[in-house]
Structures are given as C-alpha cells and as structure tokens.
C-alpha cells in the first residue's frame, strides 16, 4: 500500500514537472561526461560511450512501445515513466562526449559546424511541443549521435583511420539506425499511426548526406584526429624527448592565444610551424604542412611548399612535429595542417614582417 502511494506521488511529480526534468536529465548527462571523460581511446571512455549508445538504443525501443501497452503487467511497467528521462540523459552524455573530443582542435572553424548542428537539434528538442515524444526528432537526434559515435569508435578499435573508414562508419550507423526504426515501426501500432516510414527514412538520409558533405568540404575535422596546438615560431629545438619552442608572445589582452601572429623576420632566419596532433593509441598517420602565401597581385593564395611528417597516436598532449622554411617573402601566410587524404585538421595564419627597424619582443621559450 505504501509503495503504491509513493509510486502515485512520484508519477504525479514526474507528470507535473516533466518539462523541467527532461532538461535537467539532459544537463545531468552532459555534466556527467564532462567531468569523467578525457581520451577517446581510454578504456573508461570507451566503456562509458558504448554503454550510453547501447542503453540509448534499448530505451528508445522500450519507450516507443509504451503507448501500445507492451509493458503492462510486466516488471517494466513501474519504470515506464523514467524512459523519457533516461533518453535525455543519454542524449546529454553522448553530446557532451563529442563536444569534449571535438573541442580538442584549436581550429574553431573546423569544429563550429558540429556545434551548430548539435545546438540546432537540442533547441528543436526543447522547443517542439511534444519534445522527446516527437518521433521524427527523436530518431534524427539518435542518428546524428550514432553517426558521430561510430566515426569515433571504429578508427579506435581497428587502429586505422582514412576516408574509407569514415564512409564505413557512417554506413554502419545508417544501417543500425534504419534497422532499429524499421523494427520499432513493425512492433508498435502507435508508432505506425504517428510516423510515415518513408518520410522518416528521408530525414535520416538527408542528415547522412549533410554530414558527409560537411566532412568532404572540410567543415568538420577528420575525427578522431585533432590539432591540439599550432603556432608560428622563431626556433624549434628537440631536447631529449621534449621540444623547446621559441616564439613571440602576444599582448596580454589577447587572451584566446599565447603566440603572436605577426612574425618579425630577420634576414636569413628560418620560420617554423610547430604542431601537436592528438591521435588515439596505435593510429599512425602522415601529417602535411601546406605552406601558402597570399599573392596580392593575383589576389590568390599560392601553395609554395608541402612538407610531411609521420605521427603515432597515444600521447596525452599530442604527437609533436614541425616544418620550416628559409626563403620567405613578407606578407600574409597560411599553413594548412592536413592528412594524406587532404582533410584539414586546422589552419595556422600569420603575417611575416620584414623591417630592419623592428625586433621581436616578449620572446618566450616553451617546452612541449
């Protein structure tokens, strides 16, 4: 009797405050992973993300059959009210993980697209009247997070990343999502009454095409690689297992970066580009620095040199490397940090100033 009263009170509380609880559980999942996750190839991270994805898929199935009375008179009946909250928690947890991993890249222009998509989906989830019960939105978010999940996980498990691996990861996510949707649609009369399968398939395929378009247009980084740091330097020297990088510090009020992008160049001096690339353990890749100079006469960027070096993943602070040029011209420069396939990890912009009356100030030597 007491348990029944408690359950009734809990049910009334959840029904009355569901609007706020859904948001709180999403935030809870987001905060949980923000605090606990660190590296995509760490065992703990892998276990947590795999559990998130597995339980999200299972909970979506259970939730979508609730309106059909599928779980009446079973042990799941008392937990039905928690299904939407659990879905929001897993949405928040997976979203938080991807924000953490994407934000490792120092090139905001290559990660902002992901954040825009993520925020748009979350705003839609909040603003739609039916919220999580809107099945079109529900499965759209699921597929987006599933796609991102597999593009991170597959390279880590097979210890290889390339364009074919990305394509395989996306197709795997697409097949799993469409299979889950089809299975639920066949099992649930209420879902069949709410959802036109062709329309939902069309939405999922549109998301699939959009993500691929962004990837091949270099609007998102080639995950799980990320450019941890990148700067123009006056000197780079390897000492034991560390790199000593000498560069000019920017003014104190430029809080978003430490190095100055105006490079005061002396005759005969080398110009160095130092980068640190995060890669999961045992993934080996060739990284390229594509040096470009802006030709003001032709109003175009000219590629003057492309220099490569190999990396092996596993180091917390990224695999370090550098390239340099000696015969440089004053003006605007840009170094694209790319993979062998031409996918851009980040872009380092700077300006070379050749003026005998100017000398570098605020020089700093930093160990990487």
Residue range 235-241: mean pLDDT, rounded: 89
How do the domains of the chain map onto residue ranges?
2-216, 226-367
At 154, list the tokens: 């597959």
Banded pLDDT at 170 (limits 50, 70, 90): very high
Averaged pLDDT, 154-178? 92
Distance CA(290)–CA(88), nearest Å, equals 43
Ordered strands of the 344-353 beta sheet: 262-264, 344-353, 331-339, 284-295, 300-312
73: which 2 tokens? 């008179």
User: Is 60 exceeded by the pLDDT of residue 131?
Assistant: no
**Span 99-118, average pLDDT:** 60
- What letter would DSSP give residue 265? P
Is the pLDDT reported for residue 214 higher than 70?
yes
Residue 310's pLDDT is what?
Answer: 79
Nearest Cα neighbor of 249 from 268, 237, 264, 239 is 264
Strand ranges for the chain from DSSP E: 226-233, 235-239, 242-248, 262-264, 271-278, 284-295, 300-312, 319-325, 331-339, 344-353, 363-367
- CATH number of this structure's domain 226-367, picked from the four choices 3.40.1440.10, 2.40.50.100, 2.60.40.1930, 3.30.465.10: 2.60.40.1930
CA dihedral for 348, 351, 352, 356, sign (positive or negative): negative
Split at pLDDT 50, 70, 90, the class of 361 is confident
């Amino acid at each position: 009797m007491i348990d029944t009263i408690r359950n009734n009170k809990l049910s009334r509380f959840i029904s009355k405050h569901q609007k706020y609880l859904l948001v709180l559980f999403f935030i809870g999942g987001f905060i949980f992973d923000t605090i606990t996750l660190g590296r995509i190839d760490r065992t703990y991270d892998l276990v947590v993300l795999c559990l998130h994805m597995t339980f999200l898929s299972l909970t979506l199935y259970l939730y979508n059959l609730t309106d059909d009375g599928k779980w009446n008179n079973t042990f799941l009946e008392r937990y039905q009210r928690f299904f939407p909250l659990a879905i929001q928690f897993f949405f928040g947890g997976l979203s938080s993980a991807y924000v953490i991993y994407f934000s490792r890249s120092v090139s905001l222009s290559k990660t902002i697209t992901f954040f825009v998509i993520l925020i748009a989906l979350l705003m839609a989830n909040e603003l739609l009247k039916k919220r999580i019960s809107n099945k079109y939105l529900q499965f759209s978010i699921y597929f987006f997070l599933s796609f991102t999940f597999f593009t991170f996980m597959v390279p880590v498990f097979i210890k290889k990343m390339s364009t074919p691996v990305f394509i395989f990861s996306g197709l795997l996510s697409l097949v799993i999502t469409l299979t889950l949707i089809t299975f639920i649609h066949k099992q649930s009369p209420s879902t069949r009454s709410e959802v036109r399968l062709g329309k939902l398939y069309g939405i999922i395929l549109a998301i699939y095409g959009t993500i691929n378009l962004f990837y091949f247009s270099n609007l998102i980084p080639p995950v799980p690689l990320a450019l941890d740091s990148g700067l123009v330097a006056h000197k780079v020297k390897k000492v034991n297992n560390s790199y000593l990088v000498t560069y000019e510090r920017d003014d104190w009020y430029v809080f978003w970066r430490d190095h100055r992008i105006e490079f005061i160049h002396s005759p005969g001096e080398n110009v160095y580009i130092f980068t640190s690339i995060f890669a999961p353990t045992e993934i080996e890749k060739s990284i390229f620095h594509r040096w470009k100079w802006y030709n003001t006469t032709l109003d175009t960027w000219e590629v003057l040199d492309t220099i490569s070096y190999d990396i092996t993943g596993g180091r917390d602070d990224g695999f370090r490397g550098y390239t340099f040029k000696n015969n440089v011209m004053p003006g605007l420069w840009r170094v694209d940090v790319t993979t062998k396939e031409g996918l851009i990890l980040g872009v380092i912009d700077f300006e070379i100033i050749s003026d005998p009356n100017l000398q570098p100030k605020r020089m700093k030597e930093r160990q990487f």
